[in-house]
Amino acid sequence: MNTRKKKMLIALMTGSLMTGTVFAASASTPAEGQSIATSGVAHRTQSDMTNLSTKKNASIVKQQAEQAQNDAVRNLPEPLPLLSTLPGTPVGYFSGINDVHIDQTVPKYAVAVLPQGQEMSLPYGDAVSDSEIAPYIGKTITSIKFSALPDDKLADVLKKRLALRIGDTVNGEYLRHDVNSIGSSGLFAVVKPAFQVVPEGVSLVYHVRVNPTVRGIELTGNESIPASTLGKLLNVQPGTVLNTTLISKDVSNINTLYNNWGYMLNHVSEVKMDDRGILHIRIAEAHVEDIFIRGNTKTKDRVILREMRFGKGDIFNKALVSRSIQRIYNTGYFEDVNVRLLQGQRNRQNVILEIDVAEQKTGSVTIGAGYSESDGLVGIIGLSETNLRGTGDKVALNWEFGGKSSSNKNHSLSYTHPWLNKYGDSLGFNFYDRKGQYTDYGDKGAVASYEKKTRGFSVTYGRSRSEYTGDYFTLEAKNNEYSRYLSGLNYTQDETYFKNNFGRVHTLTWSHVFDNRDNVFDPSQGKRLAFTGIMAGHGLGGNFNYTKLIGEARLYRALGHGHVAALRVMGGTAFGSLPYNDLFTLGGADTIRGYEDDEFRGNKMYAVTLEYRYPIAKKIQGVVFTDVGNAWGGTENISWYHSSHKVHESAGVGFRVTTPIGPVRLDYAWGQNGGKFHFSFGGKF
């Protein structure tokens, strides 16, 4: 029985319980039915302590993890005694005592003062039986004394808390209140009220036995939190008389700290005091005895285990379990993740974790065809796998073939190995050869349509710095070629523009990212902060030399019942000779909706997006949004484009639909030039 769950009491000195000749109520004697704490606890054997589940909804991932782990404590079975390892005699303490005032009027004798409600709930007064006090009911109290007090000033402090005063008549309820009040002071091993008949009525004497003096304090079993930290929570100090009420408060403080730090199964299991006056406090800590993986027919165990923030032999921590569940789900390999806490087999205090996963499809095959008068019939094949052979590696291949050209139209190949070492560093590469149609926009709309071919490769190394922080370095080399004129301006006839906007670009990119979102696919809590620096040329080769600096913040707040507020703020600036296609671009489905794709360009930019997301039905989410931003500057050599500092804003509504091929976004936004519909795949941010 966890000492935090019920009020419990044990004798301070089990061999010192006294029986009065006239009437005795021992402060160390529990009332009938009162639970008694043993000198050490362990959980009874149980096959299943709790279930811990995650669902696809991001708001459930964290909430259910924490709720289920809290349920684990509430569902713990009754404790079984553990073999005591501490020397000395058990010290009695109550659980559930939090609000304690300390009266230090008398040096070395700290008197605990509880609120009246807590005093009356203690079991000291329950030992005052009606039959024993019946002969004295209604008689006048002529005097109230305390026997065996080491300091007379203590009597004055204690009398202030009594309900019965000289001149009052004996009342059973008031007497029980006073016994509770004296016992709750925490200073006494025994409280024994006794009556003596005198001519004027009765004399009331409280026989007490003072607790021994604490000479030192020793904490044992505390691996997760250092003794120096726990010691700061203790009200009982060496050189003072042992106070069992303050011990109760100290136990509550320690248990609360463990729970707040995520060690929800750790608790004070035993308090004893030896003959030398050393107070021993034992902490019982639950370790992870073993971890079992279930349901992963494809994904290898090591892929799941490497995402966990703890391992076998570590002390169980609910925060680390919650984070581990988030990480496992955020891999994208699983539809559901369930964690069960089982009773330890080798040690009943420990737990066994069983992780049940439901794998989802991680591969896709795309086959399609298209036809145009310029290209003829073109075939498309796409292959992708985000969990290659269950290793967690990601690979994607896209190939567009056929048409009137004898050469392949488009193809790309990418591969990422997400775990190079135990720190979670990653390595990926990407080769591409793409050709597509592009339209450039000026002040009055479209000015040129053309085909552009881009060839290149990139290599990215990711370095994990901490749980939520990482650095990413990307080396990329690409060549932009003007492939074919379609309509509008013909860039081949403008030698200056052609030279300054097409050619080879070699860049080195560094991104520093902090990301503690609860779910990377559909976040409801947390934030993602990123700073990115891009350097082109400057010894890397290529036809252009420039530097770009970009900052971005994404913030999420759960509003309850699946409603989420999301905010993105970003800004950037660039220096040097940027080609037109490497300028910052805004407009379209991913930045400022209600405008054409990449309608606004410049070497400076800012953008702000605010979204309110709410559930409509299973796998359907509604969105109300507003976008604000602008891009300007760096377009002096582009005769047909004139940037301005004008702020561009829009507002709209949309839907997010989860489909077998991924999330689909449907947005309609009203900009300064009217409304526009946007259809796109993937989450916005």
H-helix segments, 138-296: 152-159, 172-184, 227-231, 244-260
Return the CATH fold of 119-210: Ubiquitin-like (UB roll) (3.10.20)
> pTM for the whole thing?
0.79
Tell me phi and psi for residue 283, to 5 degrees.
-105, 130
Give the model's pLDDT for residue 20.
Answer: 27
Higher pLDDT, residue 238 or 83: 238
What gap in Å lies between CA 322 and CA 577, rounded to an integer?
Answer: 48
Which of 34-48, 215-229, 582-596, 671-685 shows the lowest mean pLDDT across its residues? 34-48
Give the model's pLDDT for residue 415.
Answer: 97
Domains in the chain: boundaries: 119-210, 287-359, 505-626+652-684
Give the model's pLDDT for residue 42.
Answer: 33
Output the DSSP codes for 361-374: --EEEEEEEEEETT
Average pLDDT over residues 280-304: 96
Residue 11 in tokens: 């004798």
Q: State whether residue 204 is helix, strand or coil.
A: strand
What gap in Å lies between CA 497 and CA 489, rounded to an integer?
Answer: 11
- In this predicted structure, the answer to whether residue 426 has a pLDDT above a threshold of 50 is yes
- In this predicted structure, the answer to whether residue 513 has a pLDDT above a threshold of 90 is yes
Q: What is the pLDDT of residues 636-684, one digit of tens each?
A: 878 788 888 899 999 999 999 988 777 899 999 999 989 999 999 877 6
Average pLDDT over residues 194-221: 94
Give the model's pLDDT for residue 164.
Answer: 94
In one-letter notation, the amino acid at residue 275 is D
What gap in Å lies between CA 181 and CA 165, rounded to an integer?
Answer: 14
Roughly how many angstroms between the first and final C-alpha of the chain, as a whole number?
A: 47
Give the model's pLDDT for residue 355.
Answer: 95
Predicted confidence band of residue 7 (pLDDT cuts 50, 70, 90): very low
Distance of CA 128 to the CA centre of its chain: 50
Give the model's pLDDT for residue 559.
Answer: 96
Average pLDDT over residues 95-107: 85
In Å, what is the CA distance from 1 to each residue of 39, 43, 264?
Answer: 11, 8, 14
Q: State whether residue 634 is helix, strand or coil.
A: coil
Give the model's pLDDT for residue 10.
Answer: 27
Higher pLDDT, residue 423 or 97: 423
Average pLDDT over residues 108-119: 85
Q: In whole angstroms, how large is the CA radius of gyration of the chain?
A: 37
Give the model's pLDDT for residue 55.
Answer: 39
- Averaged confidence pLDDT in the chain: 85
Residue 170 in tokens: 């004996």
- Percentage, residues of the chain above pLDDT 70: 86
Average pLDDT over residues 483-488: 88
Residue 256 in tokens: 């609360």
Q: Of the candidates 569, 570, 544, which has an alpha carbon nearest to the alpha carbon of residue 634?
A: 544
Tell me phi and psi for residue 31, to 5 degrees.
-70, 165
Q: Of the candidates 429, 399, 401, which has an alpha carbon nearest to the alpha carbon of residue 414?
A: 429
Question: 78 and 45 in contact (C-beta within 8 Å)?
Answer: no
Average pLDDT over residues 119-126: 80
Helix axes 318-330, 58-74, angle to 10 degrees: 150
Give the model's pLDDT for residue 512.
Answer: 98
Best CATH choice for the domain 287-359 from the list 3.20.20.70, 3.30.930.10, 3.40.50.300, 3.10.20.310: 3.10.20.310
Q: Do domains 119-210 and 287-359 have the same CATH topology?
A: yes
Q: What is the pLDDT of residues 575-629, one digit of tens each?
A: 998 988 899 999 999 999 999 888 899 999 999 999 999 999 988 999 999 999 9
Task: Specify which of 170-174, 368-372, 457-461 reaches the highest per-range mean pLDDT.
Answer: 457-461
Predicted confidence band of residue 327 (pLDDT cuts 50, 70, 90): very high
Predicted confidence band of residue 369 (pLDDT cuts 50, 70, 90): confident
- In this predicted structure, the answer to whether residue 77 has a pLDDT above a threshold of 70 is no
Give the model's pLDDT for residue 408.
Answer: 52
Q: Of the candidates 174, 172, 130, 126, which has an alpha carbon nearest to the alpha carbon of residue 30?
A: 126
Best CATH choice for the domain 505-626+652-684 from the list 2.40.160.50, 3.40.47.10, 2.100.10.30, 3.50.50.60: 2.40.160.50
Q: Of the candidates 251, 317, 218, 312, which has an alpha carbon nearest to the alpha carbon of residue 41?
A: 251
Q: State whether residue 343 is helix, strand or coil.
A: strand
- Percentage, residues of the chain above pLDDT 90: 61
Tell me phi and psi for residue 301, to 5 degrees.
-55, -40
Which of 29-38, 245-254, 546-555 shows the lowest mean pLDDT across its residues? 29-38
What gap in Å lies between CA 673 and CA 661, rounded to an integer?
Answer: 33
Give the model's pLDDT for residue 401.
Answer: 79
- In this predicted structure, the answer to whether residue 142 has a pLDDT above a threshold of 90 is yes
- In this predicted structure, the answer to whether residue 279 has a pLDDT above a threshold of 90 is yes
Question: 363 and 394 in contact (C-beta within 8 Å)?
Answer: no
Give the model's pLDDT for residue 40.
Answer: 33
H-helix segments, 86-196: 116-120, 130-133, 152-159, 172-184
- In this predicted structure, the answer to whether residue 13 has a pLDDT above a threshold of 70 is no
What gap in Å lies between CA 685 and CA 679, rounded to an integer?
Answer: 15
In Å, what is the CA distance from 349 to each residue of 23, 143, 259, 289?
Answer: 43, 53, 16, 10
Higher pLDDT, residue 513 or 498: 513
In Å, what is the CA distance from 196 to each residue of 129, 139, 591?
Answer: 17, 11, 89
Give the model's pLDDT for residue 63.
Answer: 57
Tell me phi and psi for residue 13, to 5 degrees.
-125, 100
Residue 619 in tokens: 């796998």
Question: 472 and 459 in contact (C-beta within 8 Å)?
Answer: no
Q: What is the pLDDT of residues 151-186, one digit of tens each?
A: 889 999 999 989 999 999 999 999 999 999 999 999
Q: In terms of C-beta density within 10 A (0-12 exposed, 13-18 middle, 19 or more buried), how is residue 646 classed? A: exposed
Which of 90-104, 345-359, 557-571 shows the lowest mean pLDDT across its residues? 90-104
What gap in Å lies between CA 234 and CA 206, rounded to an integer?
Answer: 29
Give the model's pLDDT for residue 372.
Answer: 63
Higher pLDDT, residue 623 or 19: 623
In Å, what is the CA distance from 499 to each residue of 100, 493, 496, 540?
Answer: 80, 11, 5, 19
- In this predicted structure, the answer to whether residue 23 has a pLDDT above a threshold of 80 is no
- In this predicted structure, the answer to whether residue 215 has a pLDDT above a threshold of 50 is yes
- In this predicted structure, the answer to whether residue 427 has a pLDDT above a threshold of 50 is yes
